[in-house]
C-alpha cells in the first residue's frame, strides 16, 4: 500500500474530469509539483471543495498513484487570499503567475518555488503593493531560482559601479555598461534593481521612497531578462 504524504500546497491548475472529479496540478512545499485526482470535488456537498481553491494555501494529504496521477486524500484550508478577487487586474496577474510557474518548471523543483508563489499570492492580496512591483519581484526571484542572476555590482569591464555615472544594461552579459545616452539608469535605479533581486518581501520594495518611478524605470530590464532567459 502506498504511503500517505502530508504537506502544504498551492493549486496551480485544475481541469474537470468525469462527472464530479477534478485533476489538479499542485505545487507542494516538500514534493515539488504533483498531479492529483480529487474525487467528487464538484459535488454540492463535497468536503474538499473549499480547501482546494485557487489563490489559497492548504494542508493536504495525498498518495502517489501507479501512473502520473496520484489522489488527494484530505485537505484543510490554511489561508484563502480572497481580497485578490476584488480586483480584476490582481485576479488576472494571479492566474498568470500560477500558469507561468507551472509551465516553466519541472516536477522536481526546490521548495523555494513554493515560498515564491505563496509570497506572491500574499502580496497580490495586499492592495497597497503595486502590481508592477509584484511582477518585477517575481521575475527577479524566478531568474535567480533558474540560475540566471545578473551581475549588479560590476560593469562588463569588471569595474565597480560609480554613483556619478549613468548606465545601460547588456542582456547578453547580464551586466551594466557605462552609457552617455539621456535615457539611462542612475545610481538609484541600480540600487533598486539590487533590492529587487535581494529582498524576500515585495512590501519592502513598495516602501522605498519614489518606488513607483523606480520600478517603472527598471522594469524593462527585468522584463527583457525574463523574456530572453526564461520564455525560450
Per-residue pLDDT of 59-116, as tens digits, reads 999 999 878 899 999 999 999 999 999 999 999 999 999 999 999 998 898 899 999 9
Domain with CATH 2.40.50.140 in the chain: 4-81
pLDDT digits (tens, 9 = 90+) for 158-216: 888 888 888 888 888 888 888 877 678 888 888 899 999 999 999 999 999 999 999 99
Specify the CATH superfamily of domain 4-81.
Answer: Nucleic acid-binding proteins (2.40.50.140)
Phi and psi at 155, nearest 5°, equal -80, 175
What is the rounded CA–CA span in Å between residue 126 and residue 80?
13
pLDDT digits (tens, 9 = 90+) for 41-68: 888 788 888 889 999 999 999 999 878 8
pLDDT band at 232 (very low <50, low <70, confident <90, very high): low
Beta strands in the chain (DSSP E): 4-17, 21-28, 33-38, 56-63, 69-80, 167-170, 175-178
- 28: nearest Cα among 103, 117, 90: 117
Helix, strand, coil share (%) of the chain residues, nearest 5: 40, 25, 35
Look at residue 125 in the predicted model and tell me its pLDDT.
98
Look at residue 1 in the predicted model and tell me its pLDDT.
57
Return the CATH number of 83-229, one of 1.20.1440.120, 3.40.50.620, 3.40.50.10490, 3.40.50.450. Answer: 1.20.1440.120
The Cα-based distances of 89 to 83, 124, 128 in angstroms read: 12, 10, 14
Domain with CATH 1.20.1440.120 in the chain: 83-229
- 204: nearest Cα among 147, 140, 112: 140
Look at residue 174 in the predicted model and tell me its pLDDT.
87
Amino acid at each position: 500500500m502506498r504511503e500517505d504524504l502530508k504537506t502544504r500546497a498551492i493549486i496551480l491548475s485544475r481541469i474537470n474530469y468525469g462527472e464530479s472529479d477534478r485533476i489538479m496540478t499542485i505545487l507542494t512545499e516538500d514534493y515539488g509539483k504533483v498531479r492529483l485526482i480529487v474525487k467528487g470535488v464538484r459535488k454540492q456537498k463535497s468536503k474538499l471543495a473549499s480547501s482546494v481553491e485557487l489563490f489559497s494555501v492548504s494542508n493536504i494529504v495525498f498518495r502517489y498513484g501507479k501512473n502520473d496521477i496520484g489522489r488527494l486524500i484530505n485537505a484543510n484550508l490554511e489561508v484563502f487570499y480572497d481580497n485578490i478577487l476584488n480586483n480584476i487586474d490582481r485576479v488576472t496577474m494571479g492566474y498568470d503567475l500560477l500558469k507561468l510557474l507551472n509551465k516553466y518548471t519541472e516536477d522536481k523543483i526546490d521548495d523555494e518555488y513554493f515560498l515564491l508563489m505563496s509570497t506572491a499570492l500574499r502580496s497580490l492580496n495586499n492592495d497597497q503593493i503595486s502590481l508592477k512591483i509584484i511582477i518585477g519581484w517575481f521575475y527577479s526571484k524566478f531568474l535567480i531560482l533558474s540560475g540566471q542572476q545578473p551581475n549588479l555590482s560590476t560593469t562588463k569591464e569588471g569595474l565597480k559601479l560609480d554613483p556619478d555615472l549613468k548606465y545601460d544594461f547588456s542582456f547578453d552579459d547580464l551586466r551594466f555598461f557605462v552609457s552617455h545616452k539621456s535615457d539611462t539608469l542612475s545610481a538609484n535605479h541600480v540600487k533598486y534593481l539590487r533590492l529587487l533581486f535581494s529582498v524576500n518581501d515585495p512590501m519592502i520594495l513598495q516602501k522605498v521612497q519614489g518606488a513607483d518611478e523606480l520600478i517603472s524605470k527598471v522594469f524593462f530590464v527585468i522584463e527583457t531578462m525574463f523574456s530572453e532567459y526564461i520564455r525560450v
